[in-house]
């Protein structure tokens, strides 16, 4: 498993662990707000796992990690953020 793929899964599970500890230790939040927090965490974790799956699938199919279009978008966003 390449470093970027491992990083996607590592950050996803790290976020899950930290969020779980935070919700477990917090007894002040009302139940309805806890359900909203858990829903947001599940959505973020699902997105992270899906991105990791797509990266592994692309590696198995032999697709390049960085194509020309994604590099163009990356350069444009970097120059835009540097300007502002």
Number of Cβ within a 10 Å radius of residue 49? 15
Give the pLDDT confidence of 4-15 residue by residue, as tens digits.
667 777 777 888
Quick count: other Cβ atoms within 10 Å of Cβ 8? 21
Query: Closest Cα to residue 6, out of 14, 70, 37?
Result: 14
User: In the chain, what are the domain boundaries?
Assistant: 3-83
DSSP state of 44: H
Residue that is written with structure tokens 């950050």 in the block = 11
By the 8 A CB rule, do 9 and 49 touch? yes
Rounded Cα distance, 13 and 17, in Å: 6
pLDDT in tens, 37-63: 778 888 888 888 888 888 788 778 877
Tell me the per-residue pLDDT of 8-35, one tens digit each, with 9 for 90 and over: 777 778 887 887 777 777 766 667 777 7
């Amino acid at each position: 498993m390449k470093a970027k793929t491992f990083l996607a899964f590592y950050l996803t599970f790290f976020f899950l662990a930290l969020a779980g500890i935070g919700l477990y230790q917090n007894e002040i939040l009302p139940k309805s707000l806890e359900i909203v927090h858990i829903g947001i965490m599940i959505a973020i974790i699902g997105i992270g796992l899906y991105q990791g799956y797509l990266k592994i699938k692309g590696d198995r199919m032999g697709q390049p990690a960085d194509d020309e279009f994604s590099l163009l978008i990356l350069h444009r966003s970097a120059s835009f953020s540097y300007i502002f």
